[in-house]
Structures are given as structure tokens and as C-alpha cells.
Chain A
């Protein structure tokens, strides 16, 4: 069966079309890549005010059953057992070789249930993985009747608190269940732009009404996938299939911060997840590759796939994501490099259409995070 015959739409499809969005197929869905405002202005609007993103293509999975926390813990190198109720944590599904199957957000709903948000392109395989690995003792529900919106930017809290004053007290990576205009909302203070903001899960039936409510505030504009990518790139956030994949461990993708202490060697709940031997070895001996930020010289975008080489033309890595960073008004890239070349004094070049462009290794993020930690 061809891809086209199965293209799906989100509950906001008609709103996007009415807003004049340019729609493109993405992960099996017709999604808005940009609106008439244009990617650069949508990007700037999010950094200054509040951008509204339709991310309903992502997978929303509810996991439940007795001891569900330790069950999920057997699939991720992350501390889930100690995750407090209504707190959210970043996690990774690993495979037997220590590679990454997907990255996800996990919220503890209490009462032996967890809420996961996973990547659109991986949601079916994640669902199958959970079913297979956890067995019949746990309920795994991929809820396709939910919509997901992200409201991101320094004004997001002001906009949302006009509708629900209590969300002001939430800090980064916490969750709340509440009603806004009789619509059931599950809200986390999180996002994928580096800005303060929220992700709001709502029933698909109420999707239009809820989005219209947010858009009636003049500080809010629809923002498409184009700006979503340039925002996350500036924020140095990994994108599955680019900085993360099934052939590199989280350590090789510079995600050590996501690997909980309690799951590391010598700790109380060491290992005991798929690929633990590989990941713990990479933590102990150091990885072969790392993910770094690159600032290419000049204005030419250096995009994913571009070869990185040293002065002698020896390949030392590859760009995983790259493009234009509107906030910096510069070309920026993220690359996977062999560890020995990740020192900032390495003299490196990117190859774009047979041209050699000098690149400087820089610390990520390119634009500092602006999360609300209370």
C-alpha cells in the first residue's frame, strides 16, 4: 500500500486549511509546515509571545496495571519508580544493542498509571514494543481520540492562566488535570522549543473549540512544523532519526543527563533494561561519538548528511541537523563527531556541494532555555 492512501489528518485539519497553512505529509499525517506568517516570523513570534502548535500526530499512550512503574522502568534507562505523582520525565526506549528506539515524555498519573507521549513516526512500534515486553498484565492504550496542542513562548503562561489561573503555579516538567470551559485538559509544563510553555491534551471532539479559545488571544499565533524544527534546533534538542537512532546509545548521543543515577553501575537499580551492558560500558569507558553544536562560517546552511572532516580531509563525523537559526540570524548545525575531535580547538570543515566550510564547535543550546523552575 502506498503512503498517500493512508495519509491521516488531525482534528485541527480544517482550522489549518482555513488559516492558510501549507500542508505537507509528515509521519503519515497531513501537517501544517507553515502559515501565511512564514517560518521566520512564526519562529520569532514563539520566542517573543506565544506560538500554538498542533502536535496531535504524536502518540499519546496510557499505561496501567499493578506495579506499572517498575514495568516501564525495565524498558528505559531512567528512574520511573521514584517519579512523583503528576511529575513528568524525559525517557528513552532502548533496544538490545543499547540503541534508542524512541524518546518520550512520561508522566506519573498516580493510581498505577502512566501517561506517555511518543514520536508520531514511532507510535505504532512503541505500542507493539510495550505490548510485547510488558505482557498481558498491563493495559496499553494508544488513544487516537485525543488531540495535543503545544503553547510555547514567554507569554504562554499569561495566555493560559487567563483561562485557568491555577496553571501559574506549575513548574517545568509537572502536570495538571483540569477543566477549561468544560473541556477536560491534561496539561504539562513542557515543550520542544526551549521556551517556557505547555503541552495540552484534550479530547478530539473539543479540539476546535479549545484552539479557537487560545487563538482569540492576540498574543497567540499558529506555528507550523517548519518553525518547530528551527526552534528545537536553536534549543539544541534532539530529534529522533537525527541526533538519536537505533544504532547509537544515549551516551553516544550526548544524553547522559537523561540517564538516571539510580540506574547506573553500582547504584541501587543498576541496569536491567534492554541494552544495559552496552550503555553502562559507554558510561564507564566513554563513547566513540558525541553530539556537538557547530557554527559554520558564512551564511550557507549546513544541513543533515553533510560530511565533517579535519584539515587533512579525513572524515570525523556528520551533520545530524542543520539550517538557519532565526534568533541568531546565523546558520547553525548539530553534528555527530568522533569523540577525539569534539574538543573546541579541533580545526574542522563541513562539506556542502563540494565546498569546504570552516566550522567552530560550540556548546549546545545555541539559544538559552527559558524554562520556569519556580
Chain B
């Protein structure tokens, strides 16, 4: 399945079985600048779409990671707690944030594909 994108500049990679990996886009990473701290949710937490689930701190400011989908958090990338710079170096890969088991897979249909996202960030 292809990667989807949210208006909050997250990528959502659907792995099948209603499982998704979520991270922030390269565009978001560039906007934030050097990251110094990432606060992750707990494994087992439930999240609903639109809810703040994580805090990303750059040198300048703190920003929220907004859940692009609803579900339960089954894994977090705890490497980010000590090495937030991996998000800067590889936001689409090693710098993933969380894995979520979707409670409402239909929500994926509301996300953008790569082409729409690229248009979205150009605006």
C-alpha cells in the first residue's frame, strides 16, 4: 500500500491488518529545524483522530504531533527519546514515531496521497 499524508504534515504508512506506522514528513522536519526532544505516548494508549499525542521540541519551540487516525498505540520509537536528531536525518524511515492499530480504517480514505500532499505544501 502506498504512503498517505495528513494536513498536519505526517506520513501514514499502512502495513496491512489495520496497522499503520506514523512519522512526520521531510517538509515538517525542515520547518521545525534541529530537534532537541521528542515526548512519545505510552504503548497501549488510545488515540482519536485530531488529538495531540506527542510533543516535538526544536531548539526554538514545542509543537504537537496530532493523531491523523484513531486507534491504539502498539509501539513507539523509543530511540527518539535519546536521539531526536534521527528525525532530522531520516524522517521518512528511521525517524518514525509510532505504530497504531486502527480502530476506524475508513479514516485512511480522508488522507492525501503523495501527489495531493506535494500540491498541498506548495500552496
Interface residue ranges, A against B (CB under 8 Å):
22, 33-34, 38-40, 226-227, 229-230, 299-301, 303, 323-324, 326, 331, 353
Task: Please pick, from A226, A299, A331, A353, the residue contacting B60 in the complex, using a CB distance under 8 A.
Answer: A226
**Residues 41-92 of B at the A interface (beta carbon under 8 Å):** 55, 57-62, 81-82
Question: How distant is the Cα of A267 from the Cα of B59 in the complex, in angstroms?
Answer: 45
Instruction: Please give the number of chain B residues whose Cβ is less than 8 angstroms from any Cβ of chain A in the complex.
Output: 14
Task: Please pick, from B34, B39, B58, the residue contacting A300 in the complex, using a CB distance under 8 A.
Answer: B39
Question: How distant is the Cα of A38 from the Cα of B60 in the complex, in angstroms?
Answer: 11
Contact assessment for A33 and B60 in the assembled complex, using a CB-CB cutoff below 8 Å: yes
B37 / chain A contacts, CB cutoff of 8 Å: 299-301, 324, 331
Central interface residue in B36, B55, B61, B82, by most chain A CB within 10 Å: B36
Task: Please pick, from A38, A229, A353, the residue contacting B34 in the complex, using a CB distance under 8 A.
Answer: A38
Contact assessment for A40 and B60 in the assembled complex, using a CB-CB cutoff below 8 Å: no
Closest to A355 in B: B39
Question: How distant is the Cα of A131 from the Cα of B55 in the complex, in angstroms?
Answer: 47
Question: Would you give the shortest CB distance from B62 to chain A, in whole angstroms?
Answer: 7
19 pairs across A/B with beta carbons < 8 Å?
Answer: A34-B33, A38-B33, A38-B34, A226-B33, A226-B59, A227-B59, A229-B60, A230-B59, A299-B81, A299-B82, A300-B37, A300-B57, A301-B36, A301-B37, A303-B62, A326-B59, A331-B36, A331-B37, A353-B39
Closest to B81 in A: A299
Contact assessment for A40 and B34 in the assembled complex, using a CB-CB cutoff below 8 Å: yes
Contact assessment for A39 and B57 in the assembled complex, using a CB-CB cutoff below 8 Å: no
Task: Please pick, from A22, A299, A324, the residue contacting B59 in the complex, using a CB distance under 8 A.
Answer: A324
Question: How distant is the Cα of A301 from the Cα of B61 in the complex, in angstroms?
Answer: 9
Q: What 7 pairs between A and B have smallest CB-CB spacing?
A: A324-B36, A39-B59, A40-B34, A38-B34, A301-B57, A299-B37, A39-B34
Closest to A326 in B: B59
Question: Would you give the shortest CB distance from B49 to chain A, in whole angstroms?
Answer: 21
Contact assessment for A299 and B36 in the assembled complex, using a CB-CB cutoff below 8 Å: yes
B39 / chain A contacts, CB cutoff of 8 Å: 300, 353
Question: Would you give the shortest CB distance from B37 to chain A, in whole angstroms?
Answer: 5
Question: How distant is the Cα of A33 from the Cα of B34 in the complex, in angstroms?
Answer: 12
- A39-B33, A226-B33, A300-B57 are known; give 4 further A-B pairs, CB within 8 A: A39-B58, A40-B34, A301-B36, A326-B59
Central interface residue in B59, B61, B82, by most chain A CB within 10 Å: B59
Question: Would you give the shortest CB distance from B76 to chain A, in whole angstroms?
Answer: 16
Closest to B61 in A: A303
Question: How distant is the Cα of A226 from the Cα of B34 in the complex, in angstroms?
Answer: 10
Question: Would you give the shortest CB distance from A158 to chain B, in whole angstroms?
Answer: 28
A324 / chain B contacts, CB cutoff of 8 Å: 36-37, 57, 59
**Residues 5-57 of B at the A interface (beta carbon under 8 Å):** 33-34, 36-37, 39, 55, 57
